[in-house]
Amino acid sequence: MHPNPSQAAATLTPLRRFAGHATTTCSAQASAYGKCILATYTDVRKDACKEEFAKFGACLRETMKRKW
């Protein structure tokens, strides 16, 4: 018998849930942050991608608050 998807998600560790959200729920924000890092990696400056990182972090915090 296969577990109910909501039960399976509830048994995931916080780190696994975090990883899942980073690659699915917050993929647009993660992509924007990654593109910024890629575009600026040869000219590293403090806070170069601060705005993109903030949006990605906010998305992850919001989705991790939800109960699955």
State the pLDDT at residue 23: 81
Residue 17 Cα distances to 27, 55, 60, angstroms:
14, 18, 10
Q: Is residue 59 part of a domain?
A: no
State the pLDDT at residue 9: 53
Angle of the 14-23 helix axis to the 50-65 helix axis, nearest 10: 130
Q: Is residue 56 part of a domain?
A: no
Q: Is residue 31 part of a domain?
A: yes
Neighbour count for residue 59 (Cβ, 10 Å): 18
Q: Is residue 17 part of a domain?
A: yes
Q: Is residue 35 part of a domain?
A: yes
Q: Is the confidence at residue 10, as pLDDT, over 60?
A: no
pLDDT tens profile 18-58? 787 778 889 999 999 999 999 998 998 999 999 999 999 99
- Domain of residue 24, residue span: 13-42
Identify the band that residue 1 occupies on the pLDDT scale cut at 50, 70 and 90.
very low
Tell me how many domains the chain contains: 1
Please state, in angstroms and rounded to a whole number, the distance separating the CA atoms of residues 47 and 12: 33
Q: Is the confidence at residue 68, as pLDDT, over 90?
A: no
Enter the DSSP assignment of 66. Answer: S
More confident of the two residues 21 and 10: 21
